[in-house]
Amino acid sequence: MNASVSPAVLAAVQDEEHAAALRFITCGSVDDGKSTLIGRLLVDSQAVLQDQLAGVQRAGATDLALLTDGLSAEREQGITIDVAYRYFATAGRKFIIGDAPGHEQYTRNMVTAASSADAAVVLVDATKLRWADAGLALLPQTRRHSLLVHLLRVPSVVFAINKLDAVEQPELAFRNIAGALATFCEAAGITARAVVPISALEGFNVVQPTPGWAGYTGASLLQVLESLPAAAAETAQAFALPVQWVEKFSGSADTSQGRRVFWGRVATGTVKPGQPVRVMPSGQTAVVAQVLDTVRRPRDVAAGHSAGIVLDREVDVSRGDWLLAPEAPEAVREVSGTIAWLDDEPLVAGRAYWALHGHRWVKAKVRRVVHRLDIHTLAEEDATQLERNAIGHVELVLQEPLATRPYTQARRPGSLVLVDTASHRTAGAVLVR
């Protein structure tokens, strides 16, 4: 867990992988100072404008947390209910922050923010720990949020140890807490990109480095974030594309390049003319005649980007179908996966839900709940149903086969959501095993 960022890494901010905006989330327990940290990032990077700053002055002092808690219910209760998205930019990069709630009751919103994040900043409140103790125990919510972002494969995890200005011996506290995090990460298989001691309230090590404070001479949190890559596209896998939109040329005189363009975002691999494809679920085969990028220029397109595909022959392809390389795994009728249950109504074994995979809706029946995971340790325990915010392991039987892959190999083919057939609420997030 090397916290320092070399000048070479900082220079990398200009390369392609770093050109895209970095989407990161902040997580941690209630009152760990997430909203204050974001307020500090925004104010110190000059992203907050005068009228917005004036709106959060209370009794002459600036309450940074009020910059992000925008709903009246949040101000009433003094907690963050839903993800707030915030934007700021430095000379080198644009950032999108998902300010995720820390309260256990709103875990579904934290999962929402994490599913599309490139990085997660896990805040640890030093004042809540026995920081003088080298064998200190971390808070359950720190472990839980770290495990959740790890489970969701957020590419980079950064720990920020906050409120070190409020403890007597910041250097000792930083050393002991960083040690506890290292032990925890090793056991959980988490690779931390950095551990940074900060004071969100005072601004230490948030935007500008505060050399030597808490015995730390590394990069500030913002410098670490500037150096992180956006999520790497899954280009090494076999080609797969879920068809989002079928463009018909019936009204056009130009029929020279086939009759239809199949648009969608490439989930895995790369597509270029000559690529043989199999259509799921019909099983028909064809060869790619032309590939268009977002703005309709002919070009090879890699995972993560939209492509328009013209095939060499007329085959039946509709929205929701997948175009797959012949070597891609066969579609399956049975899926086992880790599930985060998000709905107020518990998941019940035997019940059927709608499942959305790519752009395809199918019915999915929960055959059984295999385990419920202890949310603090991820140890497995027996269960027959899963309550809101529980994480478990389930087996699903699908009405039609789906071209899934393990989530650990490929996120888009490896993820699906379950929707309650009666209420239409989004009920579960499934990570295919």
Q: Which residues bind other proteins (CB under 8 A)?
A: 19-21, 46, 49-52, 55, 68, 70-73, 75, 81-87, 89, 91-92, 94, 96, 108-109, 111-112, 115-116, 244-245, 247, 263, 265, 294-296, 305-306, 319, 342, 354, 356-359, 411-412, 415-417, 419, 424-426, 429
Cβ 237 to other proteins shortest distance, Å: 16
Q: Which is nearer to other proteins, 20 or 331 (CB)?
A: 20
Q: Which is nearer to other proteins, 133 or 344 (CB)?
A: 344
Cβ 153 to other proteins shortest distance, Å: 11
Q: Which is nearer to other proteins, 84 or 194 (CB)?
A: 84
Cβ 421 to other proteins shortest distance, Å: 9
Q: Which is nearer to other proteins, 12 or 161 (CB)?
A: 12
Cβ 318 to other proteins shortest distance, Å: 10
Cα–Cα distance, 400 to 368 (Å, whole number): 18
Secondary structure in 3-state letters for the chain: CCCCCCHHHHHHHHCHHHHCCEEEEEECCCCCCHHHHHHHHHHHCCCCCHHHHHCCEECCEECHHHHCCCCHHHHHHCCCCCCEEEEEECCCCEEEEEECCCCHHHHHHHHHHHHCCCEEEEEEEHHHCCCCCCCCCCCHHHHHHHHHHHHCCCCEEEEEEECHHHCCCHHHHHHHHHHHHHHHHHHHCCCEEEEEECECCCCECCCCCCCCHHHCCCCCHHHHHHHCCCCCCCCCCCCEEECCEEEECCCCCCCCCCCEEEEEECCECEECCCCEEEEECCCCEEEEEEEECCCCCECCEECCCEEEEEECCCCCCCCCCEEECCCCCCCEEEEEEEEEECCCCCEECCCEEEEEECCEEEEEEEEEEEEEECCCCCCEECCCEECCCCEEEEEEEEEEEECCCCCCCCCCCCEEEEECCCCCCEEEEEEEC
Cβ 279 to other proteins shortest distance, Å: 17
Q: Which is nearer to other proteins, 17 or 380 (CB)?
A: 17
Q: Which amino acid is at 246?
A: V
Cβ 9 to other proteins shortest distance, Å: 18
Cβ 126 to other proteins shortest distance, Å: 29
Cβ 306 to other proteins shortest distance, Å: 6
Q: Which is nearer to other proteins, 319 or 365 (CB)?
A: 319
- C-alpha angle 88-104-412 in degrees, rounded to nearest 5: 60
Cβ 203 to other proteins shortest distance, Å: 18
Q: Which is nearer to other proteins, 19 or 348 (CB)?
A: 19
Using alpha carbons, list the distances in angstroms from residue 18 to 93, 118, 231: 8, 11, 10
Q: Which is nearer to other proteins, 208 or 294 (CB)?
A: 294
Q: Which is nearer to other proteins, 28 or 320 (CB)?
A: 320
